[in-house]
């Protein structure tokens, strides 16, 4: 099981006590999100929808790669990887 660093966007920092980056463990993104939620209850529901997929307006990266173009929640999270949760910004 790998330990990774998860970058938390400002809007979700209420779940992490204001921390912008927190550690989490797991060999896949799904496992990392489970561990993240175990330590910061409620945060996973803000990242995943009711069907368990990544919400439409949330982007998740492992390293520099958007997981939607990899294996989504099955994307491997190697030891020391950085996982970034980035809410989409829209406007006009």
Q: 8-48 pLDDT, tens per residue?
A: 999 999 999 999 999 999 999 999 999 999 999 999 999 99
Residue 54 pLDDT > 80, yes or no? yes
List Cα–Cα distances, 3 to 15, 30, 33, 68, 89, in angstroms: 19, 13, 12, 21, 29
Structure confidence at residue 88 as a pLDDT band (50, 70, 90): confident
Kindly give the pairing relationship between strand 65-66 and strand 82-87. Answer: unpaired
Structure tokens given for 82 = 């950085």
Every domain of the chain and the residues it spans:
3-87
Reported pTM: 0.94
CB 87 within 8 A of CB 9: yes
Answer yes or no: CATH 3.40.30.10 is held by domain 3-87: no
The pLDDT of residue 91 is above 80: no
Cross-sheet strand order for the sheet of 21-25: 21-25, 3-7, 82-87, 58-62, 65-66
């Amino acid at each position: 099981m790998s330990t990774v660093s998860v970058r938390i966007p400002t809007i979700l920092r209420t779940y992490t006590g204001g921390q912008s980056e927190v550690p989490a463990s797991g060999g896949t993104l799904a496992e990392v999100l489970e561990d993240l939620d175990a330590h910061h209850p409620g945060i996973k529901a803000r990242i995943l929808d009711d069907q368990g997929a990544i919400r439409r307006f949330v982007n998740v990266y492992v390293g520099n790669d958007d997981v939607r173009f990899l294996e989504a929640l099955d994307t491997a999270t190697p030891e020391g990887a950085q996982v970034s949760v980035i809410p989409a910004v829209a406007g006009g």
